[in-house]
Amino acid sequence: LFFAPQVYPQEEVAISIDRLLESGEIEQVKELIEKKFSPGSLHYDFLFAKIYFYQGNYLLAKEKLGQVLAQQPRDKDLQEIYKFYSAVYEKNKDFQEYESEHFRLRLKTEDIIIKDYALEGLEKIYAKLGKEFNYYPQGKVLVEIQK
């Protein structure tokens, strides 16, 4: 996280959550948040906004973070994160999503010609790297192709 808004939890918990999110362990992150924070608390809502963002649900992430920002309107770091979430949502709102066995691929309609090649290539990489590192992510991995 580039910013440290007031609603961000204690450093130890924040580091655990960030590591789990970066490795795609969404369910473990949810369990940790549910264990440490009360539903509806600022920490809880802020962290769930972050989960939604990592999952590619940019609209829900922006809305949830907006609820937190409404309660902490003077938090400059939170304002910056909200601007970032909003910008990502605006950039991606018209993307189409296509799925393969292990991936969710998002791209603009005009780029549909690469869809099959991209998904095929991603699946080959998944098999090769999964075998190499003996690691296969839980759930489908989101890939967005940007210009």
Please report the pLDDT score of residue 1 as a whole number: 44
Q: For the residues 9-35, what does the mean pLDDT come to?
A: 86
Please report the pLDDT score of residue 2 as a whole number: 44
Separation CA 114–CA 137 (nearest Å): 24
- Cross-sheet strand order for the sheet of 103-107: 96-99, 103-107, 141-144
| Phi, psi angle pair for 25, to nearest 5° | -90, 65
Listed residue (125, 99, 103) closest to 24, CA to CA:
103
pLDDT band for 116, please (50, 70, 90 cuts).
very high
Helical (H) or strand (E) element with 77:
helix 76-92
Residues of the chain with CATH 1.25.40: 11-92
pLDDT band for 57, please (50, 70, 90 cuts).
very high
The tokens describing 105, both together, are: 């691929």
Cβ 44 vs Cβ 33: under 8 Å: yes
Cβ 17 vs Cβ 29: under 8 Å: yes
Q: 11 Cβ partners below 8 Å, 6+ apart?
A: none
Residue 132 has pLDDT above 90, yes or no: yes
pTM: 0.85
The tokens describing 110, both together, are: 């005009």
Separation CA 69–CA 49 (nearest Å): 11
User: Hey, what amino acid is at 97?
Assistant: E
pLDDT band for 5, please (50, 70, 90 cuts).
low
11-92: what fold? 1.25.40
